[in-house]
Structure formats: C-alpha cells, structure tokens
Amino acid sequence: MELTGAQILLECLKREGVDVIFGYPGGAVIDIYDELPKHPIQHILVRHEQGAIHAADGYARASGKTGCCLVTSGPGATNTVTGIATAYMDSIPVVIITGQVPTPLIGNDAFQEVDIVGITRSCTKHNYLVKDIKDLALTIRRAFYLAHTGRPGPVLVDLPKDIMQAKIKFVWPDDEAIKMRSYNPNIKPNKRQLQKIIELVKKAQRPVIYAGGGVISSNAAEDLTWLARKLHIPVTATLMGLGCFPADDPLWLGMLGMHGTFTANKAIQDSDLILALGARFDDRVTGKIAEFAPKAKLVHIDIDPTSIQKNVAVHVPMVADMGLALAEMRAIVESDLGAFDFVSAHEPWVKTTIDWDLEHPIKYTPPKKGEAVKPQYVVEKIYELTKGKAIIATEVGQNQMWAAQFYGFQAPRTFLSSGGLGTMGYGFPAAIGAQMAFPDQLVIDIAGDGSIQMNIQELATAVCYNLPVKIIILNNGFLGMVRQWQELFYKKNYCSTCMEAQPDFVKLAEAYGAAGFRVTRSRDVEKVLKEAFAIKKTVIVDVRVAQEENVYPMVPAGKSLGEMLLV
C-alpha cells in the first residue's frame, strides 16, 4: 500500500518510539497535522516554537530518550534556533522536524521560506533537506540514529510540503540501511589505558574526579558512584554533571568553577591526579587555563575526540563512551585480586577536603529581622521539602547558580539547566517536557523574574495539559546576574538591569488558569512551598527576595580557581 510522506513520517516516528511530540502547526506542515490524530503520538501544542524545542530537550534530559518537535517553515523554523543551539551545546538528543515550502519553490524567496538547513548547520549535529520521498524513511531513521549515538545532539530534518503529499510504498529501513560509512563513533574503551588509569590512581595521593554531563547522558552515574567510593576519590562536577554523584556523600565536593565551592576549586588546584570524565573544560569551569590544576596529571575520557586536548594538555587521553568505560573500569577493579587499599591511600586527602568544607561551606548571610527573604534559603527549603527527589529545571542567572549550589542533587537526570549556551527562558518549557515524561513526579522550575518572562506564554500549555509544574520565581526585581557583574566590575552602573513594570505574577498565573502565591517573609516560605507542592495544578510562587544578593563564591572571569571571592 502506498502512503503519503506525512503518513510515512508519523509511521517512522512511532517506530522510533516517539510517544509525545511538541509542536506548532502552519501551512507547510498541515498535512502532517491532518494525519496526526490517527497515530498513537500525543501532540503538545505549545505557544511559541522556542517552547517546543526546549520542551523536547527537557523531555530528553529527564527521560534519556530522544526528544522530538515539529514546526512549520520560515518563522516556525527560525523560532527554534535558540533551542537547537541550547541542545547542541549540551549534547542533548532531539530531532527537529521543520516544514519547508514545496521543492519547486525552494530558493525562490517563496512565502515563509527560509534556508533552515543553512541557518542551523553550525548548531546541529547534522541536518537534512529531504528532496525525494524515496529518501524520507531512511532520513528519519538516520536522524534518530545520529541524535542519540556517539556524542548526542540535535538533528534537523527539513520536509518540503510536496514531499509530505507525495505517495510511495512504505519500507522501513533496517539497521543495516541506516549505517553510514562516514559515521563510526568510537565508543569502545581501551582496556590497557583503563588499567594504566587505575595504576595512576594507586600512585596518586590527592586524586579528584571531575565529572561532566557525559556521565549523565551515557547513564554512567551508578558506576561512577561505585568507583568513586571504592577508589575513595572525592568527586566534583560541572553544572551539567550535577546529580551524577549523590550530594549527601562525604566524598562530594560540590560543583567546581566560577561559582563552585571553595572545597571543589581548592581540591582541583591542589590535586595530583584529575580524572576528567565526560567534561569538556569549559572556561566557566577552568578559570584561567594556564593556572588550572597546576600540580595534576590529567586523565580525560570523552566520547568526542575534539573535546580532548582542546583547552588543556592531557596525560592520558581516551575516546570512549563513558558508560562502557566506567563499566569496564569497574570490572577491572572488581577482579583486581591484589586488592589495593585505596581507602588508606586516599584517606588523608579526603579528610583534608572535609576540613576545607567545614572551614568554608557553601553559605549565605541569613536576613536580619525585617529584611527580605534570602534566595538561597528558598532553594534550601525546596531541597528539604522534596528531599532531593524532585526534578529541578532552572532558568539562567543567579537563580540557576543558587539552585546548583543549595539543592543537593541525588540522582542523574534530575537537574535540567542550559549549561553551555546559558539560555534564559529554557527552564519553564524544559520543565513542561520533563513533566510530560514523568507525570507523577514533582517538577520545579527555579526561575528569575527576568528569565521567566522569556517564555511565560507556556503557562497556557502547562495549564491546558494539566501539567502541575511549579515555578518558583526568586524575584529580585533585577536581571540579577548581570547586576552582580555591574556591581562588582562596573562600579554599580546598573544600566538596564532593573526590571521595572513587572507583571503581577500572581494575577498572571490566575489569568492563565494556574495558581499563584506571593511570599515576602522568610517565615512564610516553607508553608507556601508546601501548599504549592500539594496542589495538582500549575503554580507560580513569586518570592520577593533580597534585591542585591550575590552569588558566592565567585571566581572572577579570567582569574584562576585559586582566586575566589568568598561570602
């Protein structure tokens, strides 16, 4: 039987395991929408295409599956670009389907035509324009294959309208057909190298594990935790790595980098062996590169060869899938008959890090009587009430850093944040995506008053699908993070960072059919959060927090990790 392109697309999506797709219709994709109700795929109608791509991304981060979104040509497609770049920077598997004008019109400046393949070339892992219906099924399969294998990333497929309407006999391409001679990611760890790494760990006195998002995306958190405990090595992580190791473990050092803990940054600077796992030495993490970990030998394992030796010289490089590498390493350690006493070897060092933590814990100055709520306190309360069991999305800015510092992440895929691109407006739609993946989980967006206004329209989406996402706005009336830089490095010239004419967030929530709360006193925080978490509804909690609170510790840009400003 012959199927139309639209039918083939949906059949392929179904077979790829897509059960939810985030999208927004338009003329170029109307044929797909016409077919959609006949397929077992739930379509979530967002209110802006940026919401669709972030939601697909949040769904992917939370669930480990590939996210999918569908938008129309031209403006629909360009509205997704920020979200595509966000997913690209954080290596998130998403497939973006964009409509395109009919093939005979391509290149003619037709109505709603845009060269989205050209526009997204540098922010997708790969992208396709399907010009022949014969290639459709294979292209969709390859898009999914590329998105989730190797270093994951967004893959875009641009579909002209006439291809959606054309008919052909449907053939599901088998696994053999999707292979490409030009794409063979190297995923197998080298056993000898792994043995060498274990030997290095035995010789090291001050080893540190520095884990990144790769540990989470390759589902290696459990093996990492096992190894860190067995080898008795303290663990720090990048923003993207939070949740890869339980924050209540004595070996946990906290996040490192610009707003990392004193202990983590100090441990890196004093370490004699760093195991960098699925992390890419971002400049927000390393500080001044020339002075990063001056005494350490560096081991770097990553799926992406271009990440290795990019910013820092590495002593033991290894290209491998982190899941396979750590599982193999665990097997070696488990079968090591001459059982080395890692605990005695590293205990003095672990003790040192614990002492540092006691001296300089992550902290803030509590408010004096009558002073405004401290944002850090709100995050602490969220942690306490959820016991670290919620899925936390964040926006970007101080709210993001306070979430990273004061919420103790216990499990992978519970922290969704735009790390690489730092996209304001990411958190709320990402939380919607995560809530779709886990309808019964508590999903919270920790937000700033600036960021939340970037995709506030998605309140309608959340309400429409009964998604009980909780938005906790740490409302400081400022674009706080920029204001902090202005305060510290630009003589308090608060140019254009004061958010005047704010909406009434409580009324706004109610206008959309969500619930709204306002908190102005510390003593009400806990009560209101409890109430908000208990309601089976989309909720905004507008917490008025201290306006000029800063994120500390802070390593000023361009300084070394040793040069922290403390509270």
**Residues acting as catalytic residues:** 49, 111-112, 161, 481
- Residue number, 114 or 481, with CB nearest to ligand TPP: 481
Count of CB atoms within 10 A of residue 347's CB? 12
Q: Is 479 in the site for ligand TPP (CB under 6 A)?
A: yes
Q: Binding partner of residue 344 among other proteins, ligand TPP, none, CB under 5 to 8 Å per kind?
A: none
Nearest CA-CA partner of 391 in 149, 32, 12, 63: 63
Task: Specify the stretch interacting with other proteins by CB under 8 A; choose among 20-28, 66-74, 125-133, 358-366.
Answer: 125-133
Q: How far is CA 524 from the centre of its chain?
A: 31
Distance CA 107, CA 115 (A): 8
Residue type for position 393: A
Q: Is 423 in the site for ligand TPP (CB under 6 A)?
A: yes
- Residue number, 102 or 367, with CB nearest to other proteins: 102
CA distances from 546 to 368, 406, 480 (A): 11, 16, 10
Distance CA 215, CA 221 (A): 6
**Among 398, 405, 417, 550, interactor with ligand TPP by CB under 6 A:** 398
Q: Binding partner of residue 222 among ligand TPP, other proteins, none, CB under 5 to 8 Å per kind?
A: none
Task: Specify the stretch interacting with ligand TPP by CB under 6 A; choose among 304-312, 314-322, 477-485, 517-525.
Answer: 477-485
Q: What is the DSSP string of 233-299?
A: --EEE-GGGTTSS-TTSTTEEEE-STT--HHHHHHHHH-SEEEEES----HHHHBSGGGSSTT-EEE
Distance CA 300, CA 307 (A): 9
The site map against other proteins for 273-312 (x = CB under 8 A) is: -------------------------------xxx--xx--
Site for ligand TPP in 99-118 (CB under 6 A): none
Task: Specify the stretch interacting with ligand TPP by CB under 6 A; choose among 57-65, 131-139, 265-273, 473-481.
Answer: 473-481
Q: Is 122 in the site for other proteins (CB under 8 A)?
A: yes
Distance CA 319, CA 246 (A): 26
Distance CA 414, CA 392 (A): 6
The site map against other proteins for 127-166 (x = CB under 8 A) is: --x----------------x--------------------
- Residue number, 25 or 212, with CB nearest to other proteins: 212
Q: Binding partner of residue 35 among ligand TPP, other proteins, none, CB under 5 to 8 Å per kind?
A: none
Report the nearest approach of ligand TPP to the CB of residue 484 (Å).
7
Distance CA 513, CA 537 (A): 9
Distance CA 180, CA 182 (A): 5
Report the nearest approach of ligand TPP to the CB of residue 447 (Å).
7
Kindly state the number of chain residues that form the binding site for ligand TPP, as judged by CB under 6 A. Answer: 19
CA angle in degrees (0–180, nearest 5) for 258-540-239: 20
Nearest CA-CA partner of 101 in 165, 51, 156: 165
Q: What is the DSSP string of 483-551?
A: HHHHHHHSTT--TT-B--S---HHHHHHHHT-EEEEE-SHHHHHHHHHHHHHSSS-EEEEEEB-TT---
- Residue number, 160 or 260, with CB nearest to ligand TPP: 260
Report the nearest approach of other proteins to the CB of residue 317 (Å).
11
Residue numbers at the binding site for other proteins (CB under 8 A): 117-118, 121-122, 125-126, 129, 146, 180-183, 304-306, 309-310
Residue numbers at the binding site for ligand TPP (CB under 6 A): 395-399, 422-424, 448-451, 474, 476, 478-482
